[in-house]
Amino acid sequence: MRFLRLPVIVCFLFIYSACKKNSTSVDLTPSFYFLNGDTTASAFNNNLILFSSSDTIVVNVILSSTYLLSSSGNVTVDVDADAITSYNTNHGTNYQPMPANAYNFPTTVATTITSIYDTIPVTIYKHALDASQNYLLPINIISTGGINITLGVSEIYLHTVNSELAGIYNSNVTKIMYNGDAADSSVNSIDTFTLTKSLMPIDSNLSQLDYADLGSNGWKYKLSFSSDIPGNPPEFTIGANDVILSSVQSSSFKILNSVYNSTTKAIYIKSSYKNTSGNERIIEETLTLK
């Protein structure tokens, strides 16, 4: 009988191995979602629409599947009107549905077995929007021909805000660096460059913009075009964020001049500060809508 033990043990190990393999198996079932879709509050402004000088802007919504499909098919996407009411209720906002003539996108996407990505170009028309309103355009995956849909990222919230200053700008920058004070020392170097910048709203009255070429370091202007007194014309004000103020010599940051043209949306800013070594820097920026 003892010679039967070896086959029994082998059989037992085979069954155990099969069970173990199944317990850690990976589900390779395809499921559709938007690669840039995320309706959580922390990601909401990732899909904020900023206009340049052009009347139109195209936002590419990326439809994706978790795995390659076994056969070609069609996916249907459309506007989710109910999501606007739900978002406003949950967040205390007042977004309006984007007028039908203010956007255009294909609602049917042909999928293939050779790629897991498809691009849905969404065109937004600035002339069809009321600049005083906030708009929300929720686009949802409606049907997939039986393929699964990944909840949470199957919807994307494109939105605009009624910020006077917000937009995509070209910034022409001149940076003068001194050996000491600007008034009584020599120039160390002068740099000139052009950057493309997004002027982002923080709330209905305040916006922020990268400072010179130091935006990646967290340096931001704080800008406002509003009135503290109802009935009075709005005023353009500008300052520095806490990152700038904590990075320069104490009390050295100054706005020397600032102008905003509300007709052309052109912005001019001249500022100065001293680094922690006491060397002054004067920055001039002229921004125009791209």
Q: How far is CA 65 from CA 154, 208, 209, 226, 251, in A?
A: 11, 36, 36, 45, 53
First-residue to last-residue Cα distance in the chain: 88
The pLDDT value recorded for residue 24 is 56
The pLDDT value recorded for residue 217 is 97
How many other C-beta atoms are found inside a 10 Å radius of the C-beta of residue 138? 24
Between CA 73 and CA 146 the distance in angstroms is 10
Looking at the chain, the whole-number percentage of residues with pLDDT higher than 70 is: 91
The pLDDT value recorded for residue 28 is 77
The pLDDT value recorded for residue 3 is 45
Q: What is the DSSP string of 194-239?
A: EEEEEEEESSSSEEEEE-TT-GGGT-EEEEEEE-SSTTSPPEEEEE
Q: Is the pTM of this model over 0.75?
A: yes
Identify the segments of the chain with pLDDT beneath 50. Answer: 1-4, 6, 8-21
The pLDDT value recorded for residue 154 is 94
Amino acid at 241: N
The pLDDT value recorded for residue 5 is 52
Torsion sign (Cα): 158, 160, 166, 169: positive
The pLDDT value recorded for residue 44 is 87
> How does pLDDT run across 186-209, given as a tens digit for each residue?
999 999 999 999 999 988 789 999
Domains and CATH numbers, the chain: 31-160 (2.60.40.1740), 167-289 (2.40.128)
